[in-house]
Amino acid sequence: MGSVIEFDGLKEQLKKVIVEELNLEDIDPGEIDDNAPLFGEGLELDSLDAVELVVQLQTHFGVEITSMEQAKPVFQSIETLARFIQENQG
Amino acid sequence: MTDENGTQSMENKETPRQFGTGLGIKIFYGFIRAGGQKPAYALLYVVVFYYLLFSPRARESASHYISRRFPDAGGFRVFIHTYRLIVSLGRGLIDSAAVSIKGTSAMNATCPDKEALHGLINHNKGDNKGVILLMSHAGCWQAAMSALDFLPIPLNMVMQIYQDHDNYHLLKHKASNIKVIDSSGYLGGTIDIMKALARGEGVSVMGDRLFEADKNGLDAQFLGAEARFPYSAFRIASATGAPILVLFASKLGGVDYRVELSKVIRVPQGLGRKKAAYQPYLDDYIASLEQYCEKFPYQFFNFYNMWKL
């Protein structure tokens, strides 16, 4: 139960970081669907937002994306991104 | 860069390669193999003349740049300017082909700014920031890469492998310190670009041509009218802290090329995703590009209407 709450908290924190650091205007972090695509549809981030995202993941969560192969499954949604952070945080 | 998830759609521009057919290219290769570049140049002068005479499409594709670079020219003068532009492009392609056939001795590429580049690169290497080499479709980028082989770091060339197949293989073949990042791949290769910069390496991107699917365009005054340019280099620079080294390659005559460091653009970190924040840095690059076009009017090779917004 505790770890579920922790994971939910991580997802909320992640949404806040994305909205604030990427300056996503008119988007309320609370309204972001955990499973909506980050790129393309959903949040409609583009390839240059990925640059910011990589920097912010390192700054706020201390995790590093090291390759395209790794990024593809991780950047699918808030859910996959949060799981990656959870598994890789030191 | 891609605009969204997934691969990029085809470029909307007429590329120089479309100016030649498969058979035509084979004939030029035959001339180069048999006698070097000079007989191939001689053939080129004749071929381009007939090509421009009978291909309205070729004249039209060159007209966008020619009409802005030479706004007062009309009729016959336009034809002459167009002829010189296409011949200049063709000579560059012949030189590139000669390098792929005969090796780097077929081209004499120099860089007078070696010392400055060394200093900049070593400074950033220590910070693990790398450098962004901002280049243009001007002169001959293959010559630029040859001239930069003295650099003490690996260079990553951002290009669309499927679109620029020949150059990709040419790079793989001839330059061991040059790696290729495929911009048509996932997220436009941005993750690989960032990792290369974090390793203190150089990343070479083109600053003057926007792809059809690219939302990352910014409008700026270029040769007297608003044109659209990519601004991805500036945004990556802001995210990573890497300086942008604006480089131009120019053909001086014969097989002599020169690569010059025009300026260093430092974009402040943390500018975020608002396009307008990058306008001054794009304008700075365009000022250099205009100076280049002033000095080398027949060495700017963008054959599409970049002024059509």
In Å, how far is B130's CA from the nearest CA of chain A? 15
pLDDT reported for residue B176: 60
A51–B216 CB contact, under 8 Å: no
Domain range list for chain A: 2-88
pTM beyond 0.95, yes or no? no
pLDDT digits (tens, 9 = 90+) for B272-300: 888 999 999 999 999 999 999 999 999 99
**Alpha carbon distance A22, A19 (integer Å):** 6
Find, in chain A, the residue whose alpha carbon is nearest to that of B194.
A51
Q: Does B274 touch chain A if contact means CB atoms closer than 8 Å?
A: yes
Mean of pLDDT values over A61-75: 90
User: How confident is residue A83, by pLDDT bands cut at 50, 70 and 90?
Assistant: very high
In Å, how far is A17's CA from the nearest CA of chain B? 13
B5–A65 CB contact, under 8 Å: no
**Which residues from chain A sit within 8 angstroms of residue B190, using beta carbons?**
47-48, 50-51, 54
Q: Does B239 touch chain A if contact means CB atoms closer than 8 Å?
A: yes
**Which residues from chain A sit within 8 angstroms of residue B232, using beta carbons?**
47-48
**Which residues from chain A sit within 8 angstroms of residue B240, using beta carbons?**
51, 55
**Alpha carbon distance B278, B285 (integer Å):** 11
Q: Does B232 touch chain A if contact means CB atoms closer than 8 Å?
A: yes
**Which residues from chain A sit within 8 angstroms of residue B129, using beta carbons?**
none
Give the closest of B188, B240, B272 to A47, CB-based: B188
8 A C-beta contact, residue B183 and residue B156: no
**Cβ of B167: how many Cβ atoms within 10 Å?**
20
Return the closest-CA partner of residue B51 out of B43, B307, B289: B43
Reading the block at residue B296, the tokens are: 């080398």
Encode chain B (309 residues) as per-residue pLDDT tens digits: 443 333 333 334 444 445 556 788 889 999 999 988 999 999 999 999 998 999 899 899 999 999 999 999 988 999 999 999 999 999 998 988 888 788 777 888 899 999 999 888 887 766 678 999 999 999 887 777 778 888 889 999 888 765 555 555 555 555 567 888 988 888 888 899 999 998 899 999 999 988 655 667 899 999 999 999 999 999 999 999 999 999 999 999 888 999 999 999 999 998 888 899 999 999 999 999 999 999 999 999 999 999 987
**Which residues from chain A sit within 8 angstroms of residue B235, using beta carbons?**
48, 51
> B17-20: long-range contacts at Cβ-Cβ below 8 A with a sequence spacing of 24 or more?
B17/B166, B19/B51, B19/B58, B19/B86, B19/B89, B19/B90, B20/B93
User: How confident is residue A2, by pLDDT bands cut at 50, 70 and 90?
Assistant: low
pLDDT reported for residue B214: 63
Exposed e or buried b per residue across B186-212, where buried means at least 16 C-beta atoms within 10 angstroms of its C-beta? bbbbbbbbbbbbbebbbbbbbbbbbbe
**Which residues from chain B sit within 8 angstroms of residue A65, using beta carbons?**
191
Indicate the CATH number for domain A2-88. Answer: 1.10.1200.10
In total, the C-beta contacts within 8 angstroms joining chain A to chain B are 74
Q: Would you call B85 helix, strand, or coil by DSSP?
A: helix
pLDDT reported for residue B174: 54
pLDDT reported for residue B16: 45
Find, in chain A, the residue whose alpha carbon is nearest to that of B199.
A66
B272–A51 CB contact, under 8 Å: no
In Å, how far is B125's CA from the nearest CA of chain A? 19
pLDDT digits (tens, 9 = 90+) for A6-57: 889 999 999 999 999 888 888 899 999 999 999 877 788 888 889 889 989 9
Q: At what angle do helices B56-69 and B75-102 cross, to 10 degrees?
A: 100
Find which of A19, A46, A57 to mutate to test the B interface (most B CBs within 10 Å of its CB): A46
**Cβ of B280: how many Cβ atoms within 10 Å?**
11
Q: At what angle do helices B75-102 and B165-174 cross, to 10 degrees?
A: 40
